[in-house]
Amino acid sequence: MPLETESKVRLRALVAEFRPNNGDLLAALHRVQHEFGYLSAEAMEVIGDQLGLFPAHVYGAASYYEEFRFEPQAHTNIRWCSGPACRLRNGNGIRDALLASLGIGHMNGQTEDGRVGVILGQCNGACEVAPMVWLEQHETHMIEPVGNMSAARAVRMARALRDGATIEEATNA
């Protein structure tokens, strides 16, 4: 019987360069999430070992931040921009249209088949294309900003993704 699971061995290798008391926790969490798409309980343990922290401390810190996930993510995430310029142009309607079209009850949820999720995004200052969303795929690390959204376009985009469209197809839906 192997002493460690395969994923644990991978995790250890990923965080091997990080040191205790060196401000490395966020970097370690980012590294693991980039690779796995989310942070598992196992990851808390391995990162804690590496940085001399209890897993509870690692989880406590990680769970403070919006960007860390603790469950496998949807194949494609629609990141909805919550910034003011977007809200002035029916941002709320776009959010509600996305959630309703996908049958997702709340932000940061996903469809039952795990194909599409809707997550919260923050303003990054491309407000000339407001309202906007980003389509993101963890597997390929692809991020596609889509500006000049409307609620109708949100419905078409969500339905296309739900039905298996690629990001490119969904953008043009």
Partner 1 sequence: MPDALALYDALRANADAAYAAWRNPERPRIDVAIDQSSISNGALRTRAAIERVVAGRNAAVDLGRVHGYGIQWLHPLVQVTFPDGATVLYGPVTPADAEAIVDEASGRWGAAESLRIGTVTGARDGVPSLRDHPFFALEPRERRLLRNLGLTDPESLEHYIARDGYRASARMLGRHSTEDQIRTVMNDAGLTGRGGANFPTGVKWNFLFGAAGEDHYLVCNADEGDPGAWVNRVVMEGDPHLLIEGMLIGAFGTRSKQGYIYLRDEYPLAIARMEQAIAQAEAAGLLGEDILGTGLTFRLRVIRGAGAYVCGEETGLLSSIQDSRGMPRVKPPFPAQRGVFDKPSNVNNVESYANAPLILLHGSDWYRQYGTERATGTKIFSFSGDIARVGFMELPFGVPLAKVLEVCGGMVGGELKAIQSGGPLGSLLPPQSLPKLILQGDSFSPWDAIMGGGGIVFCNDQTSVLVLAEMFAAFVEEESCGRCTTCHGGNQRQTEILRRIIDGRGRREDEPNLKLIDRTLQFSNCVHGQFSPKITRNLLQHFHADYEAALRGEDPSLTMAGLYRVVVTNQYDPALAEAVAICPVAAFRGPAGNRSVDDAACIRCGACIDVAPKAVGKQAKARTVALN
Q: How many helices (H) and strands (E) does the chain have?
A: 8, 5
- CA–CA separation, 173 and 37 (whole Å): 27
Residue placing its CB nearer to partner 1 in the complex, 66 or 113? 66
CB of 164 to partner 1, least distance (A): 18
DSSP secondary structure, 79-146, as one string: EEE--HHHHTTTHHHHHHHHHHHHT--STTEE-TTSSEEEEEE---S-GGG-S-EEEEETTTTEEEEE
Q: Closest Cα to residue 132, out of 140, 142, 123?
A: 123
Inter-residue contact 115 to 103 (CB < 8 Å) = no
Q: Does 151 bind partner 1 (CB under 8 A)?
A: yes
Q: For the window 51-70, what string marks contact with partner 1 as x by the rule CB under 8 A?
A: x-x---x--xxx-xxxxx--
Query: What span, in angstroms and rounded, lies between the C-alpha atoms of 44 and 38?
Result: 11
Query: Which of these ranges, 8-16, 20-28, 70-78, 109-117, lies near partner 1 under the rule CB under 8 A?
Result: 20-28
Q: Which of 35, 71, 96, 163 binds partner 1 (CB under 8 A)?
A: 96
What is the C-alpha to C-alpha distance for residues 112 and 2, in angstroms, rounded to an integer? 34
CB of 10 to partner 1, least distance (A): 21
5 binds partner 1 (CB under 8 A): no
> Could you tell me the smallest distance in angstroms from the CB atom of residue 100 to partner 1?
4
- Beta carbon nearer to partner 1, 4 or 19: 19
- Closer CB to partner 1, 25 or 161, in the complex: 25
Positions that interact with partner 1 (CB under 8 A): 21, 23-27, 29-30, 51, 53, 57, 60-62, 64-68, 82-85, 87-88, 90, 92-94, 96-97, 100-101, 121-130, 132, 145, 147, 150-156, 158
